[in-house]
């Protein structure tokens, strides 16, 4: 358990680092957020307005004081007011969060199912040209821009088949199609990694042994090679989830779904720094939590690893 | 092409169990002509006997095993001949049909036991896999049978072991698990592909004893694939020597050993530890030892060297070397022998300043050996000490030419002008027996033996006094080993070099050493003049090491008995 | 988007004495045996030409509007059709190559140079410097790359160059980690240890043995990363964070055509196809440099 405690501490450091990095990036590099608010105004009162805003937002104080306030605020769950919505940024963020969570979760599920199935089918396919064709799929999937996949699916399912609404379909069909668009790249990258690992596992001595025990190809693959090959896929799950979270930004834009992804794009567009800060911090929290879960599960799958070392 | 030298043996029960007739196989290479790997191989294995297929790397011996188990890689195919097992022709079976033979009638034992088991499954479950694959018994019955077999193959406490994972077991135990798995379906034939190569000699002996026992008790036939003619001669009833995919000599073991009749087989015989005698080897070496003056100065002095490694995550630290003291005099060879985990590698790294010692000190030519992580301030030391590594594939930069490799130490140790260095490189190639034309080749293009010669030439470049040889021949084929050992010997005579020679192989150590240090679990268990250690070992451990040398002692048929074997060796 | 790890899947050296099955004849012969790779190279040449000299492919003006030619379907006159201002979409795609490709290459160059330096320093110094640098890298990798890019753009402001800088900064972490692991791996190689006996100083040994061998993998990974960068540049432009509208740029073209996806689907999908084919070609070529390694691109 000692190792796990250390991991926990380490996770806290990562989240703190992400928050800190984002804070200085967002609040120090560009000057300040007040500029964004006054972008539309012109004439003599701009300076006046800017100064008022700065005072209002507390941007006239030294950076370190601002940082300290932001950090202690964040610990209490207060990331400041969304500049546009005039509500706490956290509130704005978590309002859209369930929508995105559903999308990302379903997307991840589809990606894992598609990726693993494809890899297994590749290894079980005897026919040479069919196999070559299947092997070429994961790289293609990774090369497809997620927004383009979304547009194609939208064109087919909304405009040709009329299964879903083109704009922000609230039903399960809309969710499924959107998460499918999200899953293509993720599934491709899972399948690429898994296929490469399977290739390695299938040429390893223990698979040679299993083959010589008279096991069928399917048994060799599923009972012996797959579990070994899947371990690195599982340990990189944190990153895959990150790809999903990033991907929602594009998918939600294409399908006009009101989720965190859209929110972030709008916030970036309008330089709504508190919202961007929340998004960055929560993304880091998600990454850390997923990795902690993977760390907890890993020793159960691989007895060579233990919590104590 | 059939092999006229090979007369199939009648075996004990008349008809052979396994018969290969004129088998040829080849590997397809994209864009080029297929590479033949087997060429008209014919052999018989009778039930209740062991046939050893002996060959060096690339001889096709492993392919021979795969031809029988039907597991040639995708680009390989059998082009001619047939494989018959107990009257049934195996060649031409479909994959589905073959699967019923594999693991049922033919058992298989892989080379590296630790890698041969799935790291993620308990060993008990794995040992039952052949039964499961062939649908034998219920889950409970399979478990029963595995527990039974675990006891039979000499694994203690089978019940507890059943749920253990491979990483919790030693190499020897893993190999026993694999033997139990192979035997679970009561096969008639066992293919053992270098079953003991990855194991320590003492463990190797017990595993081979187990296999020999199974042949007796189960009337099993074993096709033993090995590079070690010593192992073959000690254990097999028949021997087939393979070279370039052909059987160059085959027959009863006693006949092959007594009358090799074939230059390659003779070469193998000479290179093997067969008929090894500690006294003979040490006596031969003594001729050289006597030429070194008795008052030759001490060049390497280790005083109470100790090194402990902090174990991972809190468990007890591991003592790699404890309290090691020894001296080496100029012009002599100190042989350090030990099995895996004996601490010999750590000791040698301390000697060469690559690892700091926790306690004690080492002096070379009266100067203390210091360690610096980045090697700073050690250039002076490395003018006197050089090292040759075990694996010449890993120790030479694959993207350098031979010339660049040899030039590097010459520049580093400031050996004169470009012209002088070029002259020295020519000289180095010459003394190490490499053709001058090799200078501008990349090491990736060289054979293992050539590479090791380059590594030796590199070590000699700054004219060192001491050369540390870390298992310098272990990665090489036996016949190449012989050549490299010969080269090292002549270099020592010509240049008056001092060697510290590390090996796991007591046979090699016996041949090259003037003094011997035996390490076990980090402690020096014996130390002294080679002849004394080899002929009058004081500890059981060294006695065991001596008897474990394949072909040196034991019950194998027709072993050439060395004249000077002592009574103690025979009895242990 | 980062390269998470580079793993050797093949044995680096053939075992002693085994007949070497490696085909000789070099890259040219390899190309002929692999038509896919040949096509990939040809496509990259076409794309590079388009980036340098778009006039070779489309003689028209990408900004010229024509009210009489609005929203035409693809035809020999307008290969990709025309948009709602009557501009020729093929011409716009050809002219958009330069900006898209420029941004991707700048991004990778920034990531490669800064990442390699950080990784080299971390791997060579080890100890505390290594831990601190790698913790920073871990933090950067903890946040999804698209979110990091977005945050950087909200700080720097919109624009294609800013997109490139954002992606470059972001991919620094991946390159740093890869370079460090390669430096550590190569440093552990026996031939590097053996070089200490040659009497040279640490820095010389580092640059003679470690850096050349380690950077091979990193450079090979960088070719793959260009593909990923093209995708990210397009994604960020698609979100409207790149060049302002009339400018031809791949991601922006897809975004502008989005409104017409129901009927004039070609406006979005044909420029999108150009992106896909380009990325595929870059990955294919990248993979040929990475033979024996698996680069996990995420």
Asked if C198 lies within 8 A of B411 by C-beta distance, the reply is: yes
Asked if A214 lies within 8 A of B119 by C-beta distance, the reply is: no
For the ranges B520-524, C84-88, C151-155, C180-184, the lowest mean pLDDT is seen at C84-88
Q: Domains in chain A, ordered, with CATH?
A: 89-269 (1.10.3720.10)
B448 with B476: CB under 8 angstroms?
yes
For C139, the closest of A21, A158, A249 (CB atoms) is A21
Which residues does chain B have within 8 Å of residue A209's beta carbon, measured at their own beta carbons? 108, 110, 116-117, 178, 181
Tell me which fold the domain B278-400+463-548 belongs to. Answer: Rossmann fold (3.40.50)
Is residue B6 pLDDT above 60, yes or no?
A: no
DSSP at B457 = H
C262 with C32: CB under 8 angstroms?
no
What number of other Cβ atoms are within 10 A of residue C88's Cβ? 24
Give one DSSP letter per residue of A102-163, joined into a string: HHHHHHHHHHHHHHHHHHHHHHH---HHHHHHHHHHHHHHHHS-HHHHHHHHIIIIIIIS--
- Residue B1 CA to residue B22 CA, distance in Å, equals 7
Closest-CA residue in chain C for A268?
C154
* pLDDT value for A112: 93
- Test mutation, C127, C128, C199, C209, chain B, max B CBs within 10 A: C199
Interface of C with B in 10-39 (CB under 8 A): 12-13, 15-19, 21, 23, 25, 29, 33
Which residues does chain C have within 8 Å of residue B375's beta carbon, measured at their own beta carbons? 196, 201-202, 205
Which residues does chain C have within 8 Å of residue A287's beta carbon, measured at their own beta carbons? 142-144
* pLDDT value for C31: 61
- Residue C229 CA to residue C108 CA, distance in Å, equals 7
Among candidates C277, C282, C276, C263, which has minimal Cα distance to C70? Answer: C263
B201 with B216: CB under 8 angstroms?
no
φ/ψ of B306, rounded to 5, equals: -135, 145
Asked if C265 lies within 8 A of A269 by C-beta distance, the reply is: no
* pLDDT value for B171: 86
B529 SS3 class: strand
Is residue B98 pLDDT above 60, yes or no?
A: yes
Asked if B313 lies within 8 A of A308 by C-beta distance, the reply is: yes
Looking at the DSSP bridge assignments, the partners of residue C175 are none
Asked if C287 lies within 8 A of A276 by C-beta distance, the reply is: no
**CB within 8 A of B6, min separation 6: which ones?**
B42, B43, B240, B247, B249, B250, B251
**CB within 8 A of A69, min separation 6: which ones?**
A58
Q: How far is A235 from chain B (nearest CA, A)?
A: 15
Number of helical (H) and strand (E) elements in chain B, helices listed first = 22, 20
pLDDT tens digits for B190-233? 999 988 887 888 888 889 999 999 998 888 999 999 988 888 98
- Residue A17 CA to residue C24 CA, distance in Å, equals 50
Per-residue pLDDT of chain A (309 residues; tens, 9 = 90+): 677 788 889 899 999 999 999 888 887 766 555 555 555 555 556 667 667 766 666 666 778 888 888 888 888 888 888 877 888 888 888 988 998 998 999 999 999 999 999 999 998 888 888 888 898 888 888 888 888 898 888 888 888 888 888 777 778 888 898 899 999 988 998 998 899 899 889 889 999 999 999 998 889 998 899 988 998 888 888 888 888 888 888 898 888 888 888 888 888 887 788 888 899 999 999 989 998 998 888 888 887 776 554
Write the ipTM: 0.83
Asked if B118 lies within 8 A of A206 by C-beta distance, the reply is: yes
Is residue C2 pLDDT above 70, yes or no?
A: no
Which CATH superfamily includes the segment(s) B15-105+191-272?
Answer: P-loop containing nucleotide triphosphate hydrolases (3.40.50.300)
* pLDDT value for C27: 53
pLDDT tens digits for C77-132? 777 777 777 777 778 888 888 888 999 999 999 999 999 999 999 998 888 889 89
- Helix ranges (H only) for B198-351 are 201-218, 229-235, 253-258, 263-271, 278-289, 344-351
Asked if A25 lies within 8 A of C284 by C-beta distance, the reply is: no
Is residue C56 pLDDT above 90, yes or no?
A: no
**CB within 8 A of C110, min separation 6: which ones?**
C164, C165, C167, C168, C169, C171, C172
pLDDT tens digits for B552-565? 743 333 333 333 33
Give one DSSP letter per residue of A177-222, joined into a string: HHHHHHHHHHHHHHHHHHHHHHHHHHTSHHHHHHHHTT--HHHIII
B180 SS3 class: helix
B498 with B466: CB under 8 angstroms?
yes
C19 SS3 class: coil
Would you say the pTM of this structure is higher than 0.90?
no
Which H or E run includes C249? none
pLDDT tens digits for B36-62? 999 999 999 999 999 999 998 888 888
pLDDT tens digits for B426-451? 999 999 999 988 889 888 888 888 99
Mean pLDDT of chain B: 86
Domain boundaries, chain B: 15-105+191-272, 113-186, 278-400+463-548
Interface of A with B in 211-230 (CB under 8 A): 211-217, 219, 223-224, 227-228
- State percent of chain B over pLDDT 70: 93
What number of other Cβ atoms are within 10 A of residue B76's Cβ? 19
* pLDDT value for B378: 79
- Residue B389 CA to residue C194 CA, distance in Å, equals 8
Looking at the DSSP bridge assignments, the partners of residue B251 are B239
């Amino acid at each position: 358990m000692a190792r796990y405690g250390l991991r926990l501490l380490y996770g806290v450091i990562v989240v703190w680092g992400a928050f800190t990095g984002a804070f200085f990036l967002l609040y120090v590099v560009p000057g300040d957020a007040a500029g964004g608010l006054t972008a539309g105004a012109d004439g003599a009162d701009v300076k006046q307005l800017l100064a008022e805003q700065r005072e209002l937002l507390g941007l006239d104080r030294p950076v370190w004081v601002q940082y300290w306030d932001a950090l202690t605020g964040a610990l209490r769950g207060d990331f400041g007011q969304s500049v546009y919505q005039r509500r706490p940024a956290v509130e704005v963020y978590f309002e859209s969060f369930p929508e995105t969570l559903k999308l990302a979760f379903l997307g991840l599920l589809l990606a894992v199912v598609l990726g693993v199935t494809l890899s297994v089918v590749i290894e079980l396919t005897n026919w040479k040209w069919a196999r070559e064709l299947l092997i070429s799929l994961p790289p293609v999937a990774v090369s497809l821009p997620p927004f383009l996949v979304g547009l194609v699916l939208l064109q087919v399912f909304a405009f040709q088949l009329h299964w879903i609404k083109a704009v922000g379909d609230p039903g399960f069909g809309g969710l499924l199609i959107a998460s499918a668009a999200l899953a293509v790249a993720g599934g491709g990258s899972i399948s690429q990694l898994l296929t490469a690992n399977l290739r390695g596992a299938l040429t390893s001595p223990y698979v040679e042994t299993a083959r010589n025990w008279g096991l069928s190809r399917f048994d060799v693959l599923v009972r012996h090679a797959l579990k070994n090959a899947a371990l690195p896929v599982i340990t990189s799950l944190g990153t895959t989830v990150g790809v999903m979270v990033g991907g929602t930004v594009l998918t939600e834009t294409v399908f006009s779904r009101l989720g965190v992804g859209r929110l972030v794009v709008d916030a970036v567009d309008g330089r709504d720094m508190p919202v961007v800060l929340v998004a960055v911090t929560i993304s880091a929290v998600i990454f850390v939590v997923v990795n902690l879960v993977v760390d907890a599960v890993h020793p159960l799958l691989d007895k060579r690893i233990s919590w104590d070392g | 092409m059939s092999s006229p030298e090979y007369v199939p043996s009648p075996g004990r029960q008349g008809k052979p169990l396994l018969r290969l007739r004129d088998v040829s196989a080849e590997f397809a290479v994209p864009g080029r002509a297929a590479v033949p790997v087997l060429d008209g191989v014919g052999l018989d294995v009778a039930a209740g006997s062991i046939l050893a297929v002996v060959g060096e790397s690339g001889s096709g011996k492993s392919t021979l095993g795969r031809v029988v188990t039907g597991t040639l890689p995708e680009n390989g195919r059998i082009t001619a001949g047939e494989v018959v097992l107990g009257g049934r022709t195996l060649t031409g079976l479909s994959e589905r049909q073959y699967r019923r033979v594999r693991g049922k009638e033919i058992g298989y034992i892989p080379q590296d036991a630790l890698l041969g088991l799935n790291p993620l499954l308990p060993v008990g479950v794995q040992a039952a896999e052949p039964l499961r694959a062939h649908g034998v018994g219920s889950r409970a019955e399979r478990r029963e049978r595995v527990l039974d077999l675990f006891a039979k193959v000499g694994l203690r406490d089978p019940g507890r072991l059943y749920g253990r994972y491979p990483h919790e077991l030693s190499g020897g135990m893993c190999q026993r698990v694999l033997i139990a798995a192979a035997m679970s379906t009561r096969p008639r034939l066992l293919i053992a592909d270098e079953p003991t190569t990855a194991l320590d000699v003492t463990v190797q002996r017990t595993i081979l004893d187990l296999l020999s026992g199974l042949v007796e008790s189960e009337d099993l036939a074993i096709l033993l694939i090995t590079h070690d003619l010593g192992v073959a001669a000690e254990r097999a009833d028949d021997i087939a020597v393979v070279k370039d995919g052909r059987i160059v000599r085959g027959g009863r073991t006693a006949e092959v050993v007594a009358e090799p009749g074939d230059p390659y087989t003779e070469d193998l015989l000479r290179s093997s530890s067969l008929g090894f005698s500690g006294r003979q080897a040490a006596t031969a070496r003594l001729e050289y030892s006597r030429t070194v003056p008795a008052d030759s100065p001490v060049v390497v002095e280790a005083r109470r060297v100790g090194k402990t490694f902090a174990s991972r995550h809190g468990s007890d630290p591991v003592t790699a070397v404890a309290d090691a003291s020894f001296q080496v005099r100029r012009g002599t060879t100190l042989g350090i022998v030990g099995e895996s985990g004996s601490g010999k590698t750590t000791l040698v790294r301390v000697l060469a300043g690559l690892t700091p010692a926790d306690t004690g000190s080492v002096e070379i030519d009266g100067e203390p050996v210091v360690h610096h992580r980045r090697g700073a301030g050690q250039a002076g030391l490395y003018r006197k000490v050089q090292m040759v590594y075990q694996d010449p594939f890993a120790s030479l930069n694959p993207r350098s030419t031979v010339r660049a490799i040899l030039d590097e130490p010459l520049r580093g140790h400031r050996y004169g002008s470009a012209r002088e260095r070029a002259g020295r490189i020519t000289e180095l190639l010459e003394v190490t027996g490499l053709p001058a034309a090799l200078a501008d080749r990349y090491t990736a293009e060289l054979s293992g033996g050539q590479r090791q010669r380059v590594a030796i030439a590199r070590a000699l470049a700054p004219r060192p006094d001491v050369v540390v040889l870390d298992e310098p021949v272990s990665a090489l084929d036996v016949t190449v080993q012989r050549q490299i050992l010969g080269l090292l010997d002549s270099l020592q005579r010509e240049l008056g070099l001092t060697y510290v020679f590390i090996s796991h192989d007591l046979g090699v150590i016996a041949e090259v050493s003037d003094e011997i240090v035996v390490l076990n679990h980090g402690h020096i268990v014996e130390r002294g003049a080679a002849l004394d250690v080899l002929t009058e070992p004081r500890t059981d451990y060294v006695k065991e090491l001596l008897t474990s040398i394949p072909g040196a002692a034991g019950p194998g048929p027709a072993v050439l008995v060395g004249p000077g074997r002592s009574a103690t060796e025979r009895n242990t | 988007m980062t390269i998470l790890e580079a793993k050797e899947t093949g044995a680096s050296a053939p075992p002693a004495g085994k007949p070497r099955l490696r085909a000789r004849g070099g890259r040219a012969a390899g190309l002929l045996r692999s038509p896919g790779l040949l096509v990939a190279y040809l496509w990259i040449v076409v794309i590079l030409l388009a980036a340098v000299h778009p006039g070779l492919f489309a003689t028209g003006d990408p900004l010229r509007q024509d009210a009489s030619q609005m929203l035409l379907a693809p035809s020999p006159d307008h290969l990709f059709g025309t948009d709602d201002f009557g501009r020729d979409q093929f011409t716009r795609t050809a002219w958009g190559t330069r900006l898209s490709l420029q941004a991707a290459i700048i991004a990778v160059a920034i990531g490669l140079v800064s990442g390699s330096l950080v990784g080299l320093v971390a791997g060579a110094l080890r100890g505390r410097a290594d831990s601190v640098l790698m913790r920073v890298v871990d933090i950067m990798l903890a946040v999804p790359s698209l979110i990091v890019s977005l945050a950087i753009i909200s700080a720097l402001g919109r624009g294609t160059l800013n997109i490139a800088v954002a992606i470059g900064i972001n991919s620094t972490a991946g390159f740093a980690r890869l370079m460090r692991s390669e430096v550590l791996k190569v440093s552990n190689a026996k031939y590097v240890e053996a070089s200490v006996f040659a009497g040279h100083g640490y820095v010389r040994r580092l640059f003679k043995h470690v850096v050349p061998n380690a950077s091979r993998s990193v450079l090979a990974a960088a070719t793959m990363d260009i593909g990923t960068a093209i995708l990210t540049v397009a994604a960020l432009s698609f979100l409207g964070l790149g060049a302002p509208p009339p400018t031809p740029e791949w991601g922006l073209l897809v975004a502008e055509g989005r409104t017409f996806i129901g009927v004039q689907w070609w406006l979005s999908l044909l420029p999108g196809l150009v992106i896909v084919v380009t990325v595929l070609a870059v990955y294919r070529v990248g993979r040929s440099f990475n033979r024996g390694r698996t680069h996990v691109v995420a």
